[in-house]
Amino acid sequence: MGYFIFRRTVGFLLTLLVVSAVVFAVMNVLPGDPALTILGMDATDDALAALREQLGLNQPVLTRYFLWIWNALQGDFGISHSFRVPVSELIAERLPMTVSLAVAGMLFTLVIALTLGIGAAARHRKAGDWGVMFMSQIGIAVPAFWLSMLLVLLFAVKLRWLPPGGFAGWSDPVAAIRSLILPTIALGVVQSAVLARVTRSSALEVMRQDFVRTARASGLSRRRVLWRHVLPNALVPIVTIVGMQFAALVTGTIVIENVFYLPGLGRLIFQSIANRDLPTVQALVMLFAAIVVTANFVVDLLYVVIDPRLKART
């Protein structure tokens, strides 16, 4: 058990190190001179050279890489070229937006997918089951950006129930939740369609097992058998998919934030790429990658929490 956690932790840290190297390498072989981008086409050679010196661009690549890592570990990602403020401030300002959206999307996905998936399994080969399978097929096929536009057209433009975009922060919780509803649905529909299918097939497999018959023979209601006995045993494949989906949700915010004009990291990375704002892009790509790797690490640890038999084996 202890060895298992130790091994996974070492793997987690190594993955992050490799990711950082790849991110740094990719950003530094990209064509374009940051100094030229900042000062513009008609800058003098002297000014360019001075700026390169100031930005540390004249130092060897390895030195720059380790300097970047060293500073990043202390929360210093450099100064944004386009916004002229520390990148860490930019991130701190926009992180709550993206985290709110990703967490809301995850909750939406879990609630919808588990309810529909377990419900479909309980009605195996009946109308309810077919209905869920049909809806999930559609859900998987619909692109998120297109669904976003349809949602805005219907609920914001035509019905005027919800705002079409923007986010003013959590100081007014009601307004914040109202602005999050449409982006959350747009973000979560595909993921919940996928997860509902996984939940259904995993639950069907568990329902064939002997202990489910024992639970029914103890006079427990179908609902109780499903949620208390079948679901926990169906969780391992579900958690695996949820881990990957959390990563997909975080990166999915890039599209959704741009469609809904939400001031989050997704919009920031989009703007920074357009502005060739190297330190910001580099920090954000690293951050997104770290979130994905962390999600997978958490899933690995969850397996042991779910299934006590794994403790004995690992």
Partner 1 sequence: MFELDDFSVSFGSGTALRYANLEIREGDRLGIVGESGSGKTMLALCLMGMAPDAATISGRLSIDGQDMTHANERLWQQMRARRVAMIFQEPMTALNPLRRIGDTVMEPLIVHDGLSRAQARMRVLALLEEVGIPDPPARMRMFPHELSGGQRQRVLIALALACNPALLIADEPTTALDANVALRITDLLVRLAHERGMALVFITHDLAAVARTTENIVVMYGGDMVERGPTAQVLANPAHPYTKGLLGARPDPTAPARDANGKRRRLPTLPGTVPPLSALPQGCRFSGRCAVELDYCATTRAPDHAVDANRAAACHLLGGVKP
CA angle 282, 286, 289 (to 5 degrees): 145
Q: Given candidates 85, 218, 261, 274, which one binds partner 1 under the rule CB under 8 A?
A: 218
Residue 157 or 222 having the CB closest to partner 1: 222
Give me the 283-312 binding string for partner 1, x by CB under 8 A, dash otherwise.
Answer: -----------------------xxxx--x
CA angle 143, 160, 181 (to 5 degrees): 50
C-alpha dihedral (119, 123, 128, 129), degrees to nearest 10:
90
C-alpha dihedral (115, 245, 230, 140), degrees to nearest 10:
50
User: How many residues contact partner 1, by CB under 8 A?
Assistant: 23
Does residue 8 belong to the site contacting partner 1 (CB under 8 A)? no
Residue 75 or 232 having the CB closest to partner 1: 232
Q: How far apart are CA 260 and CA 66, in angstroms?
A: 38
Tokens 């929360």 belong to 75
Q: Given candidates 9, 209, 227, 274, which one binds partner 1 under the rule CB under 8 A?
A: 209
Residue 9 or 221 having the CB closest to partner 1: 221
Does residue 224 belong to the site contacting partner 1 (CB under 8 A)? yes
Does residue 76 belong to the site contacting partner 1 (CB under 8 A)? no
Q: Report in angstroms how near the CB of residue 307 gets to partner 1 at its nearest.
A: 6
Which DSSP string do the residues of 99-115 spell out, in sequence order?
HHHHHHHHHHHHHHHHH
Residue 7 or 228 having the CB closest to partner 1: 228
Q: Report in angstroms how near the CB of residue 178 gets to partner 1 at its nearest.
A: 40
Single out the segment in contact with partner 1 by CB under 8 A; choices: 63-71, 167-175, 196-204, 224-232: 224-232
Q: Which residues of 167-195 are buried (b: 16+ CB within 10 A; e: fewer)?
A: beeeeeeeebeebbbbbbbbbbbbbbbbb
Residue 60 or 308 having the CB closest to partner 1: 308
- 230-269 binders of partner 1 (CB under 8 A): 232-233
Residue 229 or 267 having the CB closest to partner 1: 229
Q: Report in angstroms how near the CB of residue 208 gets to partner 1 at its nearest.
A: 11
Q: How far apart are CA 182 and CA 260, in angstroms?
A: 9
Does residue 93 belong to the site contacting partner 1 (CB under 8 A)? no
Q: Given candidates 81, 94, 229, 276, which one binds partner 1 under the rule CB under 8 A?
A: 229
Q: Report in angstroms how near the CB of residue 113 gets to partner 1 at its nearest.
A: 20
Are 102 and 116 in contact, with CB atoms under 8 Å apart? no
Does residue 211 belong to the site contacting partner 1 (CB under 8 A)? yes
Does residue 221 belong to the site contacting partner 1 (CB under 8 A)? yes
Q: How far apart are CA 215 and CA 178, in angstroms?
A: 42
Does residue 216 belong to the site contacting partner 1 (CB under 8 A)? yes
Single out the segment in contact with partner 1 by CB under 8 A; choices: 65-73, 139-147, 194-202, 216-224: 216-224
Are 195 and 223 in contact, with CB atoms under 8 Å apart? no
Give the sign of the dihedral formed by CA 97, CA 303, CA 293, CA 115: negative
Q: Which residues of 249-267 are buried (b: 16+ CB within 10 A; e: fewer)?
A: bbbbbbbbbbbbebbbbbb
Residue 45 or 210 having the CB closest to partner 1: 210
Residues that bind partner 1 (CB under 8 A): 209-211, 213-222, 224, 228-229, 232-233, 306-309, 312
